[in-house]
Amino acid sequence: MIGIIVPTKNRSDFMIRLVNYYANINSPYTLYIGDSSDKNHSERILTVVKRLGNKIKIVYKYYPDTIFSPECVKGPAVIKELLGITTEKYAAFCCDDDFLVPNSLGECALFLEANSDYSTAQGKAALFTLSCEGAYGQIESLGAYKIKESRGQTPSDRLDHFLGDYWVPQFSVHRTKEFLEDHDNVEKLTEMGFCELLPNCRSIVRGKSKRLDCFYLVRQVHSRRWPHPPTPLDVILQSTWQPSFQIYSDTLTAVLMAEEGLSQEIALDIVKQAFGKYLGRGFCRMLRTHKRSRLSYFKDIVKHNSMLKQIHYQILSSFPIFKKGINLPRLLNPSSKYYEDFIPIYKEIARNS
């Protein structure tokens, strides 16, 4: 029913952790692994895939960098390749260092089955860090990861609102055929940001997006993630930005024309105005950065002082908003409705610590 799409490169510890997680919970969904790793990492991943292949269905494909053009951003191209071989009706993308909850994937697929005007569905999510580097260890911090929904009645309304308050529906459950179409032209892009932005915008233009009340996704923050350029200005000044923006703009304009029956001139104007909101929010964040420097300094002091860390945690935990939101004590409480879905992830993370 659902294919889980996972590209990976030279992060075998994270990929092995993910395979073990799905095997331990007897996930009913197929795991599609697109591996672009060096030999040592790929051999480690293959060993685990072969050992656990009788517990879960895994489709492993090796995609060395040499099969793509030198200018191509490899990860999104691998996602597109994997979607092209996915046989299930529904698909969801997952990074090798993150976790999707199979029970919630099923809920989202059932929702899409019953609601043809929605193109994506997702649940609630968490973001965590470890007290050490790597895939295993004790969780140092955990909080909510922003996942929203989009219920505008027209494609142009949804796009305008989405880019004015951006989030990432790439992790959502999609219809596989549509998800593949949403990745048209990603292999032509040379700037990583547009490789995420273009498929996300296309899925929002295609249909509405629903956030269900289920525990859906857990993401990890660590030093081996793909580094984003520090400011929007740094991005724009890269030589790869303008050609990628042109592909993004042309593709999205054509999709708006097809979905809403707009003229090229009107569709292009909507794309430009919506993207202007997205870019403007990025510059506002940049301008606020220096104002947060003192707060960051305080957080660094707290982080390296165990007594202050405990006091800070107790203060936060006393506020009702933090009691109600997603946090580690709540997720580890057996009375939480998210406990059963979170505890296998927690055990896998802490397994080797």
What does the pLDDT look like over 262-310, one tens digit per residue? 999 999 999 999 999 998 876 666 565 545 554 554 455 545 544 444 4
Evaluate whether residue 3 is within a structural domain. no
Query: Considering only 74-83, 205-214, 274-283, 341-350, which range has the smallest mean pLDDT?
Result: 274-283
pLDDT level of residue 353 (50, 70, 90 thresholds):
low
pLDDT of residue 311: 44
Mean pLDDT across 152-176: 96
Domain count across the chain: 1
pLDDT tops 80 at residue 213: yes
pLDDT of residue 167: 95
Query: Considering only 68-82, 186-200, 237-251, which range has the smallest mean pLDDT?
Result: 68-82
pLDDT of residue 137: 96
Evaluate whether residue 232 is within a structural domain. yes
Mean pLDDT across 126-138: 94
Domain of residue 167 covers: 99-353
pLDDT tops 80 at residue 24: yes
Evaluate whether residue 43 is within a structural domain. no
Mean pLDDT across 40-51: 97
Tell me the whole-structure pTM to 2 decimals. 0.87
SS3 of the chain: the string is CEEEEEEECCCHHHHHHHHHHHHHCCCCCEEEEEECCCHHHHHHHHHHHHHHCCCCCEEEEECCHHHCCCCCCHHHHHHHHHHHHCCCCEEEECCCCCEECHHHHHHHHHHHHHCCCEEEEEEEEEEEEECCCCCCCCEEEEEEECCCCECCCCHHHHHHHHHHCCCCHHHCEEEHHHHHHHCCCHHHCCCHHHHHHHHHHHHHHHCEEEEEEEEEEEEECCCCCCCCCCCHHHHHCCCCHHHHHHHHHHHHHHHHHHHHCCCHHHHHHHHHHHHHHHHHHHHHHHHHHHHHHHHHHHHHHHHCCHHHHHHHHHHHHHCHHHHHCCCHHHHCCCCCCCHHHHHHHHHHHHCCC
Evaluate whether residue 323 is within a structural domain. yes
